[in-house]
Structure 1
Amino acid sequence: MMTIPDVTRVDVTPFDPRSATPEQRLAVGQLLADAFAFANPDDPPLLPQHEAVNLGQLNPDERADHVVVWDGGRALAWGRIGYDLKQNTHAASVRLYVHPQARRRGLGTRVWAALRVVAEREGRRVVMAGTSSRSPAGEAFARSLGAEAALPNRQSQLDLSALDEELLARWQIRPDGDPYRLHVWRTIPDMYLDRMADMMMVMNTAPRGDLDVEDWTITPGMIRAWDAMLDESGEVRWLMSVEDTRSGQLDAFTEVFWQPERATLLYQGATGVRPMARGLGLGKWVKAAMLDHVRAACPGTRFVRTNNASVNEAMLGINVALGFTEWATFMEWQLRLQ
């Protein structure tokens, strides 16, 4: 059982993952792994060493400030506020964790107070964060701060052993003379990089609820930075795209993320179809083809998990038809500081 010091005698201290010792990074990684295991006891555990690597990863124009509450060499609480220097410069995103055995002692409030100072220093008027129904304390904390529930999401899970094989095959049948071609990539080839950046920006058409955010611009440099982060952390990303061979334009894509050390669980990332190409079965095609692909390319995978905005009826419909069932709910919150 963890012995918790008097919270009035502990400090919330700045933490820079780039200059911290390996032991300090690993201690924060252990905190994140412990918090995850508490909320998701049936999942494969997070690896503290991987979480330690992820702490210092940033997009090209992103900056982040971290704070930690230390008890000797243990991390009792950690917070991070990230903000972009060129886009959505009014907003910031926050992550905040308190060790399960150190909760209800005011540590979260103290960490948030330190992060708020950063938000105000950087002129951010909106701060955003997410909570899962698997950890009800997060929602209660967000409400206590006066945050507004801005975008509800459904977290869904698919058991690959229960896939409808006939449906999977049917969704991958294309008409005679079909101009569309399917690509499968671990790393996007240079010749497609600009086109893929343009394709990814279709996610700006996804529902945002009441979130106070503007469209994001995706650049080739950002994609290559994400590739480098994945390589550093040891995570596998598979991406499928659909090319219109008449124009060379990419009109649909989907991506998944997988760690061999947590092989049973695969995460479905973004799936998007250009508005002008919707209704042609491209979304069903890439989703079905990806599920076929990962069964061979990601050995040991049993479950696929994904998030969808609750109002995104089109994508929810595809997922439900594939056999995804509700696993949890996830709420995106925003707190207006000005």
Structure 2
Amino acid sequence: MTGIASIRTYKTESLPGSIRIFVHPDHRRKGIGKELLKHSVAEISKTGVSEVLFYTSSSAPAGSLFAEKLELKKEYDYSSNRLTISEADDALLNEWLDYPLGAEQEIFMAVWHNLTPEDRYGDLVCFYQKVHDAEKGQPGFVEYTYTEEKFRQREKAMNKTGSQCLTIICSAADTGEILGMTDISWSPSRPEVVFQGYTAVLPSVRRKGIGKRLKAEMLLHVKKNIPEAVFIRSGNTNYREPILRINEQLGFRCTNTVTVWKKGISALKAVTGGKKNSSI
């Protein structure tokens, strides 16, 4: 096999589709990537999407050159990071358990295993929507509406894979409003690798240490309850500086950087209409 391409689209019309192209190193600069792209664009255009995302990795520099020749628009960088759990500083984690300092309202922490409690779906939807809407104007932002049913479907799909999921929630003691959350997942067949998922804090209560408290609670929980875990892997967009700083303090190190690119369907058709034996 010299190359392969895959496309992905979503039922939500406002979300762009995506195309991923892989060409064997021994067969690059022979026009294979462009031919795969032409076929991929033809197929994905049938779905009605107007824009397409592409992803390149720092571990394969040829991908960025391919994107630049296609005149794709660079959206943002996404870094993959890894923490060796044994290297996490317990003294720092225990210090962060005292956050948030000087909080104006009392909080309580909760741990959810796999499923969201039935009476909390509404609160979770509200939290996600507020955090999402606050990112309007950031690279890659698209309008999206969260619903309880979407969360139920996601959890159902996760359970079918056999993966385990754990969520730690920080809520206001008086109203029950979710102020922040973080979640992880792992496979029982490979418990040495834990995947850090979503971590967020409501815009109205940021800069109070809630993010640090959540991260500390999660790491200490992993150390105590998942003794087989060796690494935690995390991914973050480059504009989420607060969480990047927290991860750096915890000892996470970047292992790879993915760049996200975008281009409209009509422009892609024009770009891929060149000579068949292009060096792209």
TM, length-normalised to structure 1? 0.69
Q: Structure 2: which amino acid aligns with 1:82?
A: T
Change in 2 beyond 3 A, CA 1:298/1:217: farther
CA offsets per residue over residues 51-78 of structure 1, 9 Å max, x none?
xxxxxxxxxxxxxxxxxxxxxxxxx624
The residue number in structure 1 matching 2:277 is none
- Asked whether the equivalents of residues 206 and 312 of structure 1 are also in contact (C-alpha less than 8 Å), the reply is no
Cα deviation, residue 209, structure 1: 4.7
Equivalent residue runs for 1:145-224 within 5 Å? 145-174=70-99, 179-185=106-112, 186-201=114-129, 202-206=131-135, 209-211=138-140, 213-224=141-152
AA paired with 1:119?
Answer: I
CA contact (8 A) 1:207 1:311 kept: no
Is 1:123 matched with 2:48? yes
CA distance 1:155–1:206, change in 2 (3 Å): farther
Partners of 1:152 and 1:220 lie apart in 2 by 30
1:306 to 229, 234, 238: 234
Q: Deviations over 1:90-116 (max 9, x none)?
A: x22233445667766654433322221
5+ residue gaps, structure 2: 267-280
Q: Distance in 2 between matches of 1:190 and 1:107?
A: 50
The answer on whether the counterparts of 2:7 and 2:44 sit within 8 Å (CA) in structure 1 is no
Q: Tell me by how many angstroms 1:325 deviates.
A: 1.9
SS at match of 2:122: helix
Distance 1:236 1:83 in 2: 25
2:161 to 216, 233, 245: 233
- Structure with larger RCO (C-alpha < 8 A, sep 6+): 2
Q: Deviations over 1:173-214 (max 9, x none)?
A: 256996211111121111101111221231443487543x42
Distance 1:302 1:255 in 2: 17
The answer for the alignment partner of 1:83 in structure 2 is 10
Contact 1:93–1:128 (CA under 8 A) maintained in structure 2:
yes
Q: 1:136 aligns with which of 61, 69, 85?
A: 61
How does 1:319-330 map onto structure 2 within 5 Å?
319-330=247-258
Identity %: 26
- The residue matched to 2:184 in structure 1 has which SS? strand
- Cα distance in 1, alignment partners of residues 45 and 201 from structure 2: 37
- The verdict on how the C-alpha distance between 1:136 and 1:251 changes in structure 2, with shifts beyond 3 A counting, is same
Query: AA paired with 1:291?
Result: L
For 1:334 and 1:251, how far apart are their aligned partners in 2?
33
Question: Is 1:77–1:107's contact at 8 Å kept on the other side of the alignment?
Answer: no
Quote the Cα distance in structure 2 between the aligned partners of 1:198 and 1:210.
Answer: 22
Hey, what's the Cα distance between the residues in 2 that align with 1:234 and 1:96? 29
Aligned position for 2:269: none
Distance 1:129 1:204 in 2: 24
Cα shift readout 1:104-140 (whole Å, capped 9, x = no counterpart): 6654433322221233333322101322212334333
- TM-score, length-normalised on structure 2? 0.82
Cα distance in 1 for residues equivalent to 2:204 and 2:172: 12
Q: Secondary structure at the match of 2:56?
A: strand
Q: Is 1:283 aligned to 2:214, yes or no?
A: no
Match of 1:292 in 2: 220
